[in-house]
Amino acid sequence: MTNIRAANIADAEAICDIYNHYVSNTTISFEELAVTSAEMSRRILDVSKSLPWLVIESDGVIEGYAYATQWRVRAAYRFSVEVTVYLSPAVIGKGYGASLYGKLLEQLSRLGVHAAIAGIALPNDASIKLHEKMGFRKVAHFEQVGFKNKQWIDVGYWQKLL
């Protein structure tokens, strides 16, 4: 049975296990060093003060998470957020990403958010497919803005108006 709920600092280690797979093995995350549970706890607390951070559990095991952060700090950006989703590699393709995003976007809409923006390191066909399934459309493409694993990485931005 799956359940989506608000994340808390007790989830930090499980979230790190998911996220650090991408940090260490892919160019999807631009972080280059594994994130500690203490740092992840700080991030969860910081985000959760004003925006949702959700986890999806399957039989009590955290299999993924999604959250939103403020898009930019200037006041006029206050109705726009950047959204992120990460899944355990074992559950990719099972609909967990769409379930998380559905709940996240619903909560953001209730909070008065107008625009959700997702940055995707390219190539990443699975993430593009998920975002477009959820109604996001590509609005920007930046070439070679990241450098990781001895290669330049493009980033595309997808946007959904809520």
pLDDT one-digit tens code per residue, 94-107: 999 999 999 999 99
Q: Hey, what are 27's tokens?
A: 């160019």
The CATH code that applies to domain 2-161 is 3.40.630.30
pLDDT, tens digit (0-9, with 9 covering 90-100), for 81-95: 999 999 999 999 999
Report angle CA 93, 98, 104 to the nearest 5 degrees. 145
Domain segments of the chain as ranges: 2-161
